[in-house]
Amino acid sequence: MRVKFFAYYRDIFKCKEINIKSCKTINELVDYFCYEYGQKVKNIFYKNNKFSDEIIILVNGRHINHLEKLETKLKESDTVSLFPVVAGG
In a domain, 70, yes or no: yes
In a domain, 55, yes or no: yes
pLDDT band per the 50, 70, 90 thresholds, residue 86: confident
In a domain, 50, yes or no: yes
Which residues constitute the domain of residue 75? 2-84
CATH at residue 50? 3.10.20.30
In a domain, 9, yes or no: yes
> Residues 9-41: pLDDT tens digits?
999 999 999 999 989 999 999 999 999 999 999
Bigger pLDDT: 4 or 22? 4
d(CA 64, CA 70): 7
**What percent of the chain is predicted at pLDDT more than 70?**
97
Measured CA angle at 33 (ends 37, 27), to 5 deg: 155
In a domain, 89, yes or no: no
Question: Which amino acid, residue 69?
Answer: K
- Structural domain count, the chain: 1
In a domain, 63, yes or no: yes
Residue 59: CB atoms within 10 Å:
21
